[in-house]
Amino acid sequence: MSAPIKTSTPLQFVEPNDRFRPDFNQRPFQFAHRLAGHPLFALPRLLELASKTRRERPRDLYYDAGPDIRADQRWDRMGPKPFVVEEALHRIETCGAWVTLHQAQRDPEYGALFYECMREFEGLTGVDFTKVMRVEDALIFITSPRRVTPYHIDRECNFLLQIRGEKNLYVFDRNDKDVLPVTEVERFWAVDNNAAQYKPQFQSRAATYRLVPGNGVHIPVNNPHWVQNDDNVSISLSVNFTWNDWERANVHRANFLLRKLGISPRPPKQSALVDAAKNVVISTSYTPAFYMARGTARFLRRLKGDRGDGFRPKEDKTAAV
């Protein structure tokens, strides 16, 4: 259960600016914080947290290692893990690793820090997170020198705080249909976490944020982004949550199914009545609808002589920055 979030506590970790209220979950923006050098983010303490997470909550730990990760790399094609996560952290300077520790707030010390940050972000944005969030997550990233975090979009509303090291974060406009076509958004919410495709010809459209210890960036839901680490170990904290309101996500899922049936669907927010109907259908019959649509799509393709099946529902996993 989430700790109660208050708005009356004094600011301890995040410095206010005039972007939080108007731009929250609308546009990315940079902010300052006071967590650089915090002892919880020293490598020996993070090694303890990683070992505990692997023993008690292995699904909350992810890492990969490789020397040639690209911005357009798919997350499901990272290759085998050559060693356990503890060894990856011991060799973080040279092994090309990207380590993520989910749900760090389940550790009491990290939890106290996380909930204080959440209270401060709530006060800065003017939003009562307890009324709008579905799942919260204190996510810690530990990255080897020169490592790339591939291009992707997330389900989470994210405040990314840089603790150690320096890197460049490239964030694109989610409303730019050249960069992020609606079909990629639909596929992302429906079946494929890797649906957003990096298009190098549009790299110049990205906003570049220089992340150094003591600053951070707010990344709204579905804003495409990728990261290039400097020649240093990077440690970042992501304070994030998924929204409790899934209506727009369900509209994207419904539209994905309709396209499979050869129908050109109406985009979200053009008709409240149509959106509500799609939301009801998907929220009550999400899995059956997928398999019914897949069977229909297969039948239509066979009539056309195409026996390929590109319709594969996948587990709903998060992939943060």
Measured between alpha carbons, how far is 307 from 46 in angstroms, rounded to an integer? 49
Mean pLDDT of the chain: 87
* C-beta neighbour count of 251 within 10 angstroms: 25
Cβ-contact 264, 236 below 8 angstroms = no
Please check the confidence at residue 54 and state whether its pLDDT lies above 90: yes
Q: To 5 degrees, how large is the angle CA 58–CA 189–CA 302? A: 110
307 pLDDT higher than 50: no
How do residues 122-171 score in pLDDT, each as one tens digit? 999 999 999 999 999 999 999 999 999 999 999 999 999 999 999 999 99
Q: Mapping DSSP to helix (H, G, I), strand (E, B) and coil, where does residue 221 land? A: coil
Q: What's the pLDDT band for 77 if we cut at 50, 70, 90?
A: confident
Question: Which residues on neighbouring strands pair with residue 251, listed in sequence order?
Answer: none
Arithmetic mean of pLDDT, 170-192: 96
Can you give the pTM of this predicted structure?
Answer: 0.86
What mean pLDDT comes out for the span 36-59? Answer: 96
**Per-residue burial over 68-106, b = 16 or more CB atoms within 10 Å of its CB, e = otherwise:** ebebebeeeebeeeeeebeebbeebeebbbbbbbbbbbb
